[in-house]
Amino acid sequence: MANKWIKLFLRFGIGFGFLSAVADRLGLWPQEISAWGNWESFLNYTEAINPIVPEFIIPALGLLATIAETIFGLFLILGFKTEWTAKLSGYLMLIFALAISFSTGIKGAFDYSVFAASGGAFALSLMKEKYLEADLLFSKK
């Protein structure tokens, strides 16, 4: 039973973490508690951690990351295709952690716990037992 709760905790923690970051860049969190607070600041940060990416690609990269985080966040919270979504989430956060590490130094990636979150997502992808997941609604068991 403990594994079910751990899996649920990982799903919710990672899923709501993605959605909170998306809400921040869309200006949905109060300014005093925001990391970016708006789309422009988010794109400036995206450019800062991706210095080798041409400037004209940054808006598309930011949009792609935002769409992925929104979909992954919702899928994890609902428990839809959890194994697949968790693995893709792990890769997305690993890319983010490496971008931070190579552009501004590894301390930022550790301070934001991005490597730990990536590892948690990969661990979640290995948990096979279903618990409170939308996939259960569609299974033939």
Q: Residue 28: which domain range?
A: 2-138
Residue with tokens 């971008």: 99
Number of domains the chain contains: 1
Angle, in degrees to the nearest 10, between helices 58-78 and 82-104: 140
* pTM (2 d.p.): 0.92
pLDDT tens digit string along 69-116? Answer: 999 999 999 999 999 999 999 999 999 999 999 999 999 999 999 999
Helix ranges restricted to H, the chain: 2-25, 39-49, 58-78, 82-104, 106-111, 114-126, 135-138
Per-residue pLDDT of 10-65, as tens digits, reads: 999 999 999 999 999 999 999 999 999 999 999 999 999 999 999 999 999 999 99
SS3 29: coil
Distance of alpha carbon 43 from alpha carbon 86, whole angstroms: 25
